[in-house]
Amino acid sequence: MYLVLVNGVELFLLGRTLMRLGEAAMPQVEGAPAGSTRSVLIVLSDIVEHPDSAVGDIVRRTGLPQSQVSNAVARLRDAGSVVVEPDPADRRRVRVRQAPTVSARVAEVRTTSVDEVIAAAVGPARLSDVLAAIDLLGAQLPPGH
């Protein structure tokens, strides 16, 4: 067992590396702009944590520009991942929540293996150790933690 002292910067950089590997492992949507996966995932995670949010609320919480949030919501709606309904308090706004059923896109993403991307990053000999470490982190630090 190693004693490792990790500071905030190292933890942040590890998170960015894991995000890049995750993005590389995602099945690509034809015609989607390069780099748009990250904003879609950020918006989706916010919607899951805060159901029935207005787009402006998502903008404030994520720090993304309104255009990116609106585009992400439209992509998620078109993929069947979220439901958009008029806000009963203000008909000019919409409320967004996760779809009650799993869309084909979500099913595709959930079944896509990361093994190839991780093996390319760390080498095939370390693949099982790194996957085990990621599983451990995922179990101890679930999304929204």
Mean pLDDT of 44-68: 95
Give helix 8-25 / helix 36-49 axis angle, nearest 10°.
Answer: 110
- pLDDT over 90 (residue 32): no
Q: What's residue 130's pLDDT?
A: 95
Q: What's residue 29's pLDDT?
A: 74
| Domains parsed from the chain with CATH numbers | 34-101 (1.10.10.10), 113-145 (no CATH)
Q: What's residue 51's pLDDT?
A: 94
Q: What's residue 87's pLDDT?
A: 87
- pLDDT over 90 (residue 95): yes
- Write the pLDDT tens digit of every residue in 99-127: 999 888 888 888 999 999 999 999 999 99
What does the alpha-carbon distance between residue 54 and residue 47 come to, in Å, rounded to a whole number? 9
- pLDDT over 70 (residue 58): yes
Lowest mean pLDDT among 59-68, 122-131, 133-142: 133-142
